[in-house]
Amino acid sequence: MSVDPRPLLATASEALLDCLVVGAGPVGLLLASELAARGCKVVLIDALAEPAKLTKASGVVARSLEVLPSDVESKMLQNGSMLKALQILEKKEGEDLNPVLEVKTASIEVYHGILALRQQETERYLTEHLQSLPDWFRGGTKKMEIQRGVLLESFTEGPTGVQCVLKTAASGGLETVSCKFLVGCDGGHSKVRKTLGFSFEGS
């Protein structure tokens, strides 16, 4: 299928979208929320049709809690568990578990530990916060939503911003989107990072 040459979110002379955020994990959700709260026209897309059930990050450090919206922080503290100490173990074939590192976290100021909470719960609270904010791209009368099942196919930088080609997973249809800023919050296999040629050691 060929790309529709008519821009979905921009005119030929102006990028009407302030920011396109790729990836609706915790980082993308928080960024989209912060931008929307400040009156930016932002769209958040994610390749998955529904939220992931696999937890990749279950520890939330104090500094992250400090910068979260207060309603999100309250829900997380209410439903998570505060870890006072962490121990990392190593298992080699044919050998017993070997302690590698032990970290005492009870001395951390304010929170006195590291919060343990499943990633899907963190994302759920951030999504609820996002959906309470006005969608300025749609005039501010509707609330923000995650555009799920939408993939970033490719992008190029032009005189009026970043031209992005988006693909709808269900139909395979392609759309052209123009934005002032493109932000990749799409994890270790980031399409944005790979296209720009940035390395990610360990991937």
Cα R_g (the chain), whole angstroms:
20
**pLDDT value, residue 8:** 42
Indicate the SS3 state at residue 85.
strand
Q: What confidence tier does 10 reach under pLDDT thresholds 50, 70, 90? A: very low
pTM score, whole prediction: 0.84
The tens digit of pLDDT for each residue in 87-140 reads: 889 988 888 899 998 988 888 878 888 999 999 999 999 999 999 999 999 999
CA atoms lying within 13 Å on the CB side of residue 169: 12
- Residue matched to tokens 């300025």: 136
Give 107-170 as a DSSP string.
TSTTT-SEEE--HHHHHHHHHHHHTTSB-GGGTTSSB--EEETEEEEEEEEETTEEEEEEEETT
**pLDDT value, residue 164:** 94
